Chain A
Amino acid sequence: MTERPADELRDAAEHAGTGPAAEGPADPETGSGAVPGGNGGEALESRGSRGDEDGGDLRAEGTLRPRRSYLAGVVLRTFGRAGAVVGLAWLGVIAVFAVFGPWLASSHPYLWKVRTEDGSAAVSSPLVEHLGPADVTLLVLTLLVLPGLLVWRRASLGRRLGVLLLAAVVVGVSAWWFVQPPATVVYDRYRAAERAGQVEWVLRPPIPFSPSDRQRDRPEAKNLAPSSTHWMGTTVDGEDLASRMIHASRIALAVGFIATGIAVVIGVLLGGLMGYFSGWIDLLGMRLLEIFEAIPQLYLLLTIVAFIQRGPYMLYLMMVIIGLTSWTGYARFTRAEFLRLRRLDYITAARASGLPLGSILLRHMLPNGIAPVLVSASFGVASAILLEAFLSFLGLGLVDEPSWGQMLSQAVGAGGGFVWWIALYPGLAIFLTVFSYNLIGESLRDAIDPYTQKKAG
């Protein structure tokens, strides 16, 4: 009661940035700034030291003054809904798989003690030796940086996100530089050593198969139905499906986030400029937008993907391409919001007081105009995942890396045979992930829609 609320107030004041204006469309009348007056004092009392959600609910009903920025309120209202919570829960599972995939499913033992030919025994950890740069980056970010940022409550949300992004870049680049796993990997050697009786003891991950371990030493392991050894069966090439599923969740999450991120940045930039300047910039921008909207997105995407060189960076190329072809919706929404906002008094005031353009656009207009973009970004992530799955399904996307769409394409073999477990699990994973994003998007839409709020209240 003594320390935290004060911090949060500062927090809120920082996000809100512009005081009254930042309360935005939700409740234009209220709020002489983010710092509450007498009424707000009561709000603090009633809220006590727990329950951020409680505070959110009360505010949603309009009984108390908002103390948080408009955006924070939207987020709180969104995750007060059952659908969004279910969606978030599944995405949490996927995120755990994405980060800890190598620890959950890998042919490399955590630790083992193996005798070499000269008879001396040594303990080593093949799993750690084989971690790639991406594995290390994700692990460091999740275990060190993320908790640090959660604890560091003084910083605003935006600043925390910025630090996270910066840390991701720094850790990623240095991991790329320093982490060099062995280029050739022989998955059979662990099983071979065990069969030869050289292993004294071994500690394996729960699923002791790597996603691309084709089990060359076990030719009978192709196309196996789910069993206690292979929880979800094996593929045509003898890879463990459960392991591929877990490792594919990283690709799905990454494609969704990065492709949508690229699209949102392009869309918000173009849309914001079009909305703020209007005039001929708007006219030109709208023509560009129409061009990209009129080409059916799948056609454009297929054309680009089919005509580029395939290579080891296909995954990243696909993210960029999906991002480049799906920004139009975000541009439209941002443009409409900015056209509305630029006529409001607080923007005129900001301009009159001589604020630089960047500050007006980014600090004052963007936080109030971003909500519709967030809604459509949530659906956008879902559609990016679907697009990646479809491209990989057609064989135009990822080939060797595990991807849900690529796995699904193996379900109907060349000979016409149908393998139900390969059809069921990857498809189910795509469905659940897409459904989760759609649920979150739907809740987000309800949360920013003043009409549904009024009805609920």
Chain B
Amino acid sequence: MLSYILRRLLLMVPTLLGITAVVFFVMALSPGGVGGNLLNSEGEVESAQAQALREYYDRRYGLDQPKAVQYLRWLNRVSPIGFVTEASAEGETLGGFGFKAPDLGESFSKGRPVLDLYGEALPITLLLNAITTPLAYLVAIWTGTYAARYRGKAFDVVSGSGLMALWSVPTIWAGVLLIGFFANAQYPGLHWFPTGGLSSTDAGSMAFLPRWDDAGFARGWLLDRVWHLVLPVVCMTYGSFAVLSKLMRSAVLDNINADFVRTAKAKGLSGRVVLWRHAFRNSLLPLITVAAGLIPSLLAGSLIVEKIFSIPGMGQLMIEAIYARDRELVLAGTLLGGLISLVCILIADLCYVVADPRVSYD
């Protein structure tokens, strides 16, 4: 088992290299190139000044070097083993070879270390996913089990096609409609939620928990956060019901037809006990094992939702980075995204072993 994990981890290295290479050369070979919007963001700069600025950036980030050299330099900086580099206004100088701290660099457009930026954004995206996933599971497990229980009956057909329809609703449409009707001053009766963001502007001065006092009801930080998260979470959740529910349904169906359930029935157990204590538990296995594999697609899903509800998560940061052609941010984002996906796929594979003793990778 350990050797299997080690092998998988080692195989991740070339894959990650490939990911960064694909993204880097897509950026580098595009007209305008890396940092192309850098000068535009400086506003009206005199031509001589612009020239000086460009030269400075070229030296500082090595943008005047061949693409392959730029890529290798970036790779060297990111990897935990390599040449120790020192960045200065004159460019990077290479030092001795050995272990060092990986350095994701500094964002062109924001002027801050990339790691800090993602350090702030990632927890928000994870929070969104941490709320969404259990919610999707709860609904899917419930509908899936009942759909299998009443197979071919009205509930099965209606829930099946209804969830399928929900799955087809484009997230951008759902987001726009939710914001338009439930977070809009045009419809005062329905103006229940904020248009976006994660907390109100005065959230910093709020108490943590809601309370009643002389001044009336104060919702507190926690409730404020929940209030802001309702629409994004709804928007992220509804799409994943269909797939999970279908999976649950077929798993329960498989188990209902299995021998051990027939035995349980033959023993005279009630239908309820047979379904919930025998068939249901075994049917959860496939759902548990797909959980980790679901995360990469949730990552992409949260990108859309973060954009629509202007939540400062990883997806939003990535979109900003792409608009600004910020090389360091984009590369670090894909590296992180790829790493998370790969780790999740590995965890999903390991879950199969844990969940099902018949599977073995040794």
Take A290-B15, A295-B338 as given contacts and tell me if A418 and B180 are in contact as well, using a CB distance cutoff of 8 Å. Answer: yes
Query: Which residues in B have their C-beta under 8 angstroms from that of A296?
Result: 296-297, 299-300, 303, 337-338, 341
Take A295-B337, A411-B180 as given contacts and tell me if A300 and B22 are in contact as well, using a CB distance cutoff of 8 Å. Answer: yes
Query: Which residues in A have their C-beta under 8 angstroms from that of B297?
Result: 296
B residues lining the A interface (CB < 8 Å) = 14-16, 18-19, 22-23, 26-27, 30-32, 161, 164-165, 167-173, 176-177, 179-181, 184-186, 195, 296-297, 299-300, 303-304, 307, 318-319, 322-323, 325, 330, 333-334, 337-338, 341-342, 345
Q: Give the shortest distance, in Å, between A419 (CB) and chain B (any CB).
A: 8
**26 residue pairs A–B, Cβ–Cβ below 8 Å:** A294-B16, A295-B23, A295-B334, A295-B341, A296-B297, A298-B300, A298-B303, A299-B318, A299-B334, A300-B334, A302-B318, A303-B23, A304-B26, A309-B31, A382-B168, A411-B180, A412-B176, A412-B179, A412-B180, A416-B195, A418-B179, A418-B181, A420-B180, A427-B176, A438-B164, A442-B164
Instruction: Give which listed residue, B31, B185, B322, B342, contacts A302 with CB less than 8 A.
Output: B322
Whether A291 contacts B19 by the Cβ 8 Å rule is yes
Q: Give the shortest distance, in Å, between A145 (CB) and chain B (any CB).
A: 32
Query: Which residues in B have their C-beta under 8 angstroms from that of A306?
Result: 322-323, 325
A203 at the binding interface (Cβ < 8 Å): no
Q: Helix, strand, loop or mixed for chain A's interface? A: helix
Take A287-B15, A295-B22, A299-B334 as given contacts and tell me if A435 and B172 are in contact as well, using a CB distance cutoff of 8 Å. Answer: no
Whether A427 contacts B164 by the Cβ 8 Å rule is no
**C-alpha spacing A386/B338, complex, angstroms:** 22
A residues lining the B interface (CB < 8 Å) = 83, 287-288, 290-300, 302-304, 306-309, 382, 386, 389-390, 393-394, 405, 408, 411-412, 416-418, 420, 423-424, 427-428, 430-431, 434-435, 438-439, 442
Chain B residue with minimal CB distance to A427?
Answer: B173
**C-alpha spacing A424/B174, complex, angstroms:** 10
Take A288-B18, A295-B23, A394-B307 as given contacts and tell me if A308 and B170 are in contact as well, using a CB distance cutoff of 8 Å. Answer: no
**C-alpha spacing A288/B15, complex, angstroms:** 8
Query: Which residues in A have their C-beta under 8 angstroms from that of B181?
Result: 418, 420
Whether A294 contacts B161 by the Cβ 8 Å rule is no
Query: Which residues in B have their C-beta under 8 angstroms from that of A393?
Result: 172
**C-alpha spacing A428/B176, complex, angstroms:** 12
Across the A-B interface, give the 10 residue pairs with the lowest CB-CB distance, nearest first.
A427-B173, A307-B30, A291-B18, A435-B168, A418-B180, A306-B322, A298-B300, A434-B168, A294-B338, A296-B300
Query: Which residues in A have their C-beta under 8 angstroms from that of B30?
Result: 307-309
Instruction: Give which listed residue, A299, A303, A423, A438, contacts B300 with CB less than 8 A.
Output: A299
